[in-house]
Amino acid sequence: MIEFRHLRTLLALRDTGSLVEAAERVHLTQSALSHQLKDLEERLDCPLFLRKTRPVQFTRAGQRLLGLAEQVLPQIRNAERDIARMAGGEQGRLHMAIECHSCFQWLMPTIDHFRNHWPEVEVDIPAGQHFDPLPALAREQLDLVITADPQPLPRIHYEPLFRYESMLAVARQHPLADRRYIVPEDLVDQTLITYPVEHSKLDVFTRFLEPAGIHPRETRTAELTMMMMQLVASERGVCALPNWALTEYLERDYVKACSLGREGVWGTLYAAVRLDQMSQVWMSDFLRTARETSFSVLNGIRPAG
């Protein structure tokens, strides 16, 4: 009567708070997800949640199934890992590089969770790299690269993790602070603060300013997100960051944020892996863990289609 897919759907509905976002999370249309839940309620002969509430409010029956999901699904994952070890797929090396300064917020808990379940796999983030990560991946110097800028390389697979929106952070008293979105011309007289990377790797340039032929008055760099926020809050510039990286500063009302253009600038974060590594059970588990962890700790992201 109750299937694993039902439990996964209920957890997605609880975590996202809406049918639309839950459907995206489990890769169903909203209609298919609604039909699945209605079918389950008919089987059980009782409602599981209250319609037209946001966030979704669960009935006592729904809460009971959520408790079951929290118990059963992790046990299934652990059993799958144990069986993979029995099949001899536990040994490996996972050396990775990160082309994303703000990724540590979700990547560190992902690595900690992975190490607990795959202690035999050597995990490392080599420091002091003096090479381009993606070509190094192709040369087998690395095993995985987190990137938002995929390049066509032989034998490299780009596994989408999630979609994110790049947003402009400004001081609370900035003239743009009350705008829902900006246009490229709004940055002509602004100092744009960025991470110390090439402009060709930044969405604010490649997908917002350059197509419009616009350049900011000045650019300056900062190594850390916290340093960038301090500069923005003190009116020494503005900066474009992924929406999840701005969450804590927006919640504290430290800065304001607006979209880049009416529709916003949305990008996709990928895990780049060599094709021959995709067959490794522990690699598949790392990618799955990364995706699940990012949705549990980040706000504003969407599933990658």
Read off the pLDDT of residues 85-136 as tens digits, 9 standing for 90 and up.
Answer: 656 656 688 999 988 777 888 899 999 999 988 888 889 987 655 568 999 9
Cβ atoms of 302 and 161 within 8 Å: the answer is: no
Which residue in 163, 144, 102, 152 sits closest to 272, CA to CA? 144
Q: Does domain 4-86 bear CATH number 1.10.3720.10?
A: no
pLDDT score of 228 more than 90: yes
What is the rounded average pLDDT of the residues 65-86?
A: 81
Secondary structure of residue 37 in the 3-state scheme: helix
Q: How far apart are the first and last CA of the chain?
A: 30
Could you tell me which residues come within 8 angstroms of residue 190 by beta carbon, excluding any fewer than 6 positions away? 216, 217, 218, 237, 238
pLDDT at 91: 67
158 forms beta bridges with 272
Mean pLDDT computed over every residue of the chain: 90
pTM: 0.76
15-24 pLDDT tens trace: 888 888 888 8
CB neighbourhood size of 261 (10 A): 15
Could you state, in order of their start, the residue ranges of all structural domains in the chain? Answer: 4-86, 93-304
The helix (H) or strand (E) run that includes residue 239 is strand 238-242
Cβ atoms of 110 and 294 within 8 Å: the answer is: yes
165 forms beta bridges with 266
Q: What are phi and psi of 7, to 5 degrees?
A: -65, -40
Cβ atoms of 195 and 101 within 8 Å: the answer is: yes
Q: Which amino acid is at 164?
A: Y
Topology given in CATH for the domain delimited by 93-304: D-Maltodextrin-Binding Protein; domain 2 (3.40.190)
